[in-house]
Amino acid sequence: MQPGNPTILITADIDQSLLNEITSKGFVIDVIPFIKTESIQTEKIQQAIENVSTLNATVVFTSSNAVEAVYHFIQNKKVNWKIYCVGNATKSLIENLFTDSTVIAVADNAARLAQQLIINKENISEIYFFCGDKKRNELPELLTQNNIVVHEIEVYSTTILQHVIEKDYDGILFFSPSAVEGFFSKNTINLSTVLFAIGNTTADEIKKYSENKIIVSDTSAKNRLIEKVVVYFAA
């Protein structure tokens, strides 16, 4: 650990266990979320989800937020879905909530997940993609190009939060492009601040606003980004 105990800003809510893990190693942590997600609870969305729940469908989730939003409407129903998802945290949540469904494949990002679906396209003519209102287009575009019909159902919304930060940090953690946008809309940083990104998509967004050093996690799991922080400052 470098002298002075590094100060870290985490721009999203994280589990207390992960927070305890990094603070136990001497880091000084502030958690200030720069996005807020909310499930979309309208009759139209409810009807769409309930319709899919009656099908032996191929379903795609790229975030835990979407899983939770869908489960809100069908928690008392058994669904027989073949599920593709991004991230092991999302996979674990799916397996806990949709016990009658099967997770077919997991990938680290949406583009890689699309490739998994394309590999299996002989058995897949269409998919139902439960997503947020600020989703990226890589997955539906790749699938459409490969003649897989994509039914997009937006089940949660993302609001970008803008906070003014009056403190300098040794490191800042970003878990989504939207949080990057929210942070840099009101803030600048020192050239010495190291930026940590959950994946290449988030890293690319950071590059729009900063030329600072960026450390990119190799998976979409939050604990892996925390590990990157610990390893970097211990060097």
Instruction: List pLDDT tens digits, range 22-73.
Output: 999 999 999 999 999 999 999 999 999 999 999 999 999 999 999 999 999 9
Shared-domain flag, residues 126 and 187: no
Please state the domain count of the chain: 2
- Closest of 72, 70, 52 to residue 61, by C-alpha: 70
Which of these three, 106, 125, 158, is where a domain ends?
158
Which of these three, 108, 135, 158, is where a domain ends?
158
Which of these three, 113, 143, 158, is where a domain ends?
158
Shared-domain flag, residues 116 and 207: no
Is 2 part of any domain? Answer: no
CATH number of the domain that 205 lies in?
3.40.50.10090
Is 53 part of any domain? Answer: yes
Burial class (CB in 10 A: 0-12, 13-18, 19+), 134: middle
Tell me which residues of the chain have a pLDDT lower than 50. 1-2
Question: What is the extent of the structural domain holding 14?
Answer: 7-34+162-234
- Amino acid sitting at position 56: N
Q: What are the DSSP calls for 167-180, one per residue?
A: S--SEEEE-SHHHH
Shared-domain flag, residues 221 and 193: yes
Residue 200 is predicted with a pLDDT of 83
User: Would you state the torsion angle of the CA atoms of residues 142, 105, 87, 206, taken in this order, to the nearest 10 degrees?
Assistant: -20
DSSP 122: G
Shared-domain flag, residues 17 and 85: no
Shared-domain flag, residues 43 and 154: yes
How much is the mean pLDDT over the chain? 93
Residue 3 is predicted with a pLDDT of 54
Is 71 part of any domain? Answer: yes
Residue 223 is predicted with a pLDDT of 86
Is 46 part of any domain? Answer: yes
Shared-domain flag, residues 142 and 82: yes
Shared-domain flag, residues 97 and 175: no
Is 1 part of any domain? Answer: no
160, β-bridge pairs: 35
